[in-house]
């Protein structure tokens, strides 16, 4: 698929922007702070319902404005679709497809698909497990948009379960104290615990589905990541992706993972009630990224970490392409970080893509193989060269 037109209203630094786009390579060139990343961030938002730079929507709305609108005309084969998202920080976002009546924002997932690589991706290697979980879960959703529903079910159940555990922890702590009405605290603890069993089942069901998808994704991605790393840094690998679950076991199917998660919840129950928080499940898992024998985190050099993050994105791109619907590849401020050799390699790898959006501070940072459409971005204006 590719985007044929991007419109922004009150998004980031743009009061308005209208950007007609072609298939093939498009480069946005301009000095720092002029709004290049803001443009590709908007495209990425349509694909993931989130920004690759910030966790909340508030910074995405232009200072002083109330809401932002991102609109894209999208072409997939012969099919044209218009997607629209209205960002209302603090209130529900709204979405429309083909100007018809409103749909849920998550219903637009799958229309725009992107693989976005940006300097922030170094956090995939060096950052907290949450960064890697988000990487996995966004890719799962790009492969299969219905997983957005499973993810939000899981988040909802987790939140409810944590609330319950917190109140059980409180009841337990106050239960032994003199002054509390006799029996009251303990009976509410009893009620909480029987409800907890029900939440365990919900958590294990959504959790198992998420885990099954993550494990399948990792198995598919592994050889592609290894290949991509070899192309970027020959002889530097191999790379291995190892899932590290909080619920121990070797299960792979959804049913077995359900059983494994349920058993781990039983084992963790006492500790969970003491601490008032859910200690096992996909929200506590990590993906260990190995380079050679060692985990990249804590061991890999800056250059190796950079190549690794890029290899993960290129592998994601390969995977989505191989599975049918080609995503838009976004390379934000990437070339300036690479030496000449890796720059050329990357350029050759991505040049045949259906649509590749590149940002760079100066023309010279964009490799010659990626000669395509150019826009200059300066002073709030996006102009075709």
Ligand X SMILES: Nc1ncnc2c1ncn2[C@@H]1O[C@H](COP(=O)(O)OP(=O)(O)O)[C@@H](O)[C@H]1O
Output the known binding site for ATP: 30-37
**Residue 36 or residue 151: which is nearer to Mg ion going by CB?**
36
Name the minimum Å distance from CB 361 to Mg ion.
8
Name the minimum Å distance from CB 58 to ligand X.
8
Q: Which residue ranges make up the annotated binding site?
A: 30-37
* Binding positions for Mg ion, 18-57, rule CB under 5 A: 37
Stretch of 90-98, 128-136, 312-320, 328-336 lying at the interface with Mg ion (CB under 5 A): 328-336
Instruction: Select the binding partner of residue 340 from Mg ion, ligand X, none (C-beta < 5 to 8 A, by kind).
Output: none
**Residue 11 or residue 199: which is nearer to ligand X going by CB?**
11
Name the minimum Å distance from CB 76 to ligand X.
27
Instruction: Select the binding partner of residue 141 from Mg ion, ligand X, none (C-beta < 5 to 8 A, by kind).
Output: none
Instruction: Select the binding partner of residue 237 from Mg ion, ligand X, none (C-beta < 5 to 8 A, by kind).
Output: none
Name the minimum Å distance from CB 60 to ligand X.
6
**Residue 154 or residue 335: which is nearer to Mg ion going by CB?**
335
Name the minimum Å distance from CB 312 to ligand X.
22
**Residue 13 or residue 76: which is nearer to ligand X going by CB?**
13
Q: How many CB atoms lie within 10 A of CB 88?
A: 13
Name the minimum Å distance from CB 356 to ligand X.
17
Instruction: Select the binding partner of residue 52 from Mg ion, ligand X, none (C-beta < 5 to 8 A, by kind).
Output: none
Instruction: Select the binding partner of residue 49 from Mg ion, ligand X, none (C-beta < 5 to 8 A, by kind).
Output: none
Instruction: Select the binding partner of residue 379 from ligand X, Mg ion, none (C-beta < 5 to 8 A, by kind).
Output: none
Chain contacts with ligand X (rule: CB under 6 A): 12-13, 30, 32-38, 59, 61-63, 359, 377
Task: Catalog residues that contact Mg ion under the rule CB under 5 A.
Answer: 37, 333
């Amino acid at each position: 698929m590719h985007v044929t037109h991007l419109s922004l209203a009150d998004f980031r630094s743009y009061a308005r922007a209208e950007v007609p786009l072609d298939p093939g390579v498009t480069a946005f060139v301009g000095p720092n702070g002029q709004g290049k990343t803001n443009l590709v961030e908007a495209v990425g938002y349509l694909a993931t319902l989130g920004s690759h730079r910030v966790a909340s929507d508030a910074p995405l709305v232009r200072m002083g404005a109330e809401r932002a609108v991102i609109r894209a005309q999208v072409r997939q084969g012969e099919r044209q679709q218009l997607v629209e998202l209205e960002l209302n920080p603090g209130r529900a976002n709204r979405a429309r497809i083909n100007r018809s009546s409103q749909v849920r924002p998550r219903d637009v997932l799958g229309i725009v698909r992107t693989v976005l690589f940006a300097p922030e991706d170094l956090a995939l290697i060096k950052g907290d497990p949450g960064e890697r979980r988000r990487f996995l879960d966004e890719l799962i959703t790009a492969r299969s948009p219905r997983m957005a529903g499973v993810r939000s079910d899981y988040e909802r159940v987790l939140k409810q379960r944590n609330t319950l555990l917190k109140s059980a922890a409180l009841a337990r702590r106050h239960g032994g104290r003199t002054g509390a009405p006799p029996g009251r605290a303990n009976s509410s603890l009893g009620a909480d615990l029987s409800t907890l069993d029900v939440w365990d089942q919900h958590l294990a069901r959504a959790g198992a589905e998420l885990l099954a998808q993550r494990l399948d994704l990792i198995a598919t991605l592994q050889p592609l990541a290894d290949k991509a790393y070899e192309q970027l840094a020959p002889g530097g690998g191999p790379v291995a992706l190892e899932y590290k679950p909080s619920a121990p076991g070797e299960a792979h199917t959804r049913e077995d993972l359900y059983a494994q998660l349920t058993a781990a919840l039983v084992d963790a129950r006492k500790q969970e009630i003491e601490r008032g928080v859910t200690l096992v499940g996909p929200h506590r898992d990590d993906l260990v990224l190995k380079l050679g024998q060692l985990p990249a985190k804590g061991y890999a050099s800056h250059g190796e970490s950079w190549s690794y993050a890029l290899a993960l994105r290129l592998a994601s791109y390969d995977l989505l392409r191989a599975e049918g619907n080609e995503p838009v590849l976004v390379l934000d401020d990437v070339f300036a970080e690479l030496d000449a050799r890796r720059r050329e390699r990357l350029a050759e790898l991505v040049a045949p893509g259906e649509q590749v959006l590149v940002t760079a501070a100066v023309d010279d940072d964009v490799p010659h193989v990626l000669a395509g459409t150019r826009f200059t971005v300066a002073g709030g204006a996006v102009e075709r060269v």
